[in-house]
Amino acid sequence: MAEQSVVSVVALEVSDGKESEFLTLTGQLQGLVRRKGYGTNQLLRDGGHRLRYYDIRIWRSAAAAAEAESDGEIQHLRRDLAKYLHSTPLVDVAWAVEVGLAAAGPWQERRAEGDRRSQNIPFFGSDRRTSPDRRVGPRRVDGPLSLTLGDSPARPSGLVEAARAARELAHASFSDFKVGAALETADGRIITGCNIENSTYGLTMCAERVALFKAVSEGHRSFTRIAIAADTQQPTSPCGACRQVLWEFAGNLEVILADLREVTTRHQLKELLPHPFDARFIE
C-alpha cells in the first residue's frame, strides 16, 4: 500500500514591521524541508490582510511528518519564526485541496459567506469561528492524492507526564480530588496547571483553566492540545466551563485524558462541546 501524504495548514499572523524577517526565515524553512525530503511547503498570502499568511505543509508521509517535527534544524528555525508571529493550526482543509492548493486559501471560503471578524477582532485561537467550523477532526479526501488531514502525529507521553506532575501540586484540601493539566502551545511550549480549591466553592478553579490563563497571561495565543491527568478509573473530562473557555482561546484542539498509568481517551474539543457559544452570537 502506498504511503499517504499528510497535509497540515497553519495560519500565520505576522507582527507589524517584521514581514521581511518572517519571509527570510520562511524561505529558509521551505528550502530545508524540501532538501531533506520531508515534503513541501506553500506559503499563501491573505489578500484581505497584509500580515496574514497560510503555511500549507504537504509531508511525504506520516513518518516524514514525525521526523520533520523532531528535526533540530527545523525546530530552531521555527523558534526563530515564533518571535515574529502568532500561529494557529487549521486542521480540516480538505476543501482547499479539492479546489487546488495553488489557487485556494482559507480566506476564500470566509469571504463567500462574509468575513465578519473585521479588523477589530484579534486573530488568535482557531480562526475565531465566525464561519462554520470545518475542523472537526481529520478526514480523508478521495482522489489522485489521498490525504490525511491534520497536524503531524502526536507524541503525547511528555505532555501527559507534565500533567501528572502538575497534579501533584493541586490544592484540593476539600475534595481531595487532584487534577493536573498540561497545555501545548503551537511553538511547542508546555504550560501546566492544577486545580485550586477555595472554601467558597464557587471560586474553585479547574486545572484546565489555570493552565490556559497562565499561558494567555504569558503572551501565548495559539494552542494545539491539552493533556488532563487524574487518579480515576474512568476518564476525567473537562467540565462545561473549561470546555467553553478552551474553545474560546484554543478552538478545536486535541484533548488527551489520562490516569496515573496510561492515556485513556483522546478527543477533539468539538466532540466534547458540539454546540459552543462563541463570537458569532455577539457580533
Boundary (domain end) residue, out of 149, 166, 195: 149
CA–CA separation, 158 vs 132, rounded Å?
33
Residue 226: strand pairing partners? 183, 255
Identify the CATH number of the domain in which residue 104 sits. 3.30.70.100
Tell me the percentage of the chain whose pLDDT exceeds 90. 33
Amino acid 261: pLDDT: 92
Residues 126 and 171 in one domain: no
Structural domain count, the chain: 2
Residue partners of 49: CB distance under 8 A and separation at least 6: 107, 119
pLDDT band at 187 (very low <50, low <70, confident <90, very high): confident
Amino acid 105: pLDDT: 32
Place of cell 477589530: 120
Amino acid 147: pLDDT: 28
138-156 per-position pLDDT tens digit:
333 333 222 222 333 335 5
Residues 102 and 197 in one domain: no
Boundary (domain end) residue, out of 114, 149, 184: 149
Q: Supply the residues annotated as catalytic.
A: 208
Given a contact cutoff of 8 angstroms between Cβ atoms, the answer to whether 9 and 93 are in contact is yes
Amino acid 123: pLDDT: 30
Residues 40 and 139 in one domain: yes
Given a contact cutoff of 8 angstroms between Cβ atoms, the answer to whether 108 and 31 are in contact is no
Residue partners of 66: CB distance under 8 A and separation at least 6: 152, 153, 155
53-90 per-position pLDDT tens digit:
888 888 888 788 888 888 999 888 888 888 888 776 65
Output b/e per residue, 30-58; b: 16+ Cβ within 10 A. Answer: bebbeeeebbebeebebeeeebbbbbbbb
Range of the domain at 213: 157-281
pLDDT band at 166 (very low <50, low <70, confident <90, very high): very high
CA–CA separation, 135 vs 64, rounded Å?
23
Other CB atoms within 10 A of residue 90 CB: 23
Residues 169 and 258 in one domain: yes
194-233 per-position pLDDT tens digit:
999 998 888 999 999 999 999 999 999 899 999 999 999 8
Sheet holding 190-194, edge to edge: 190-194, 179-185, 223-230, 254-258, 263-268
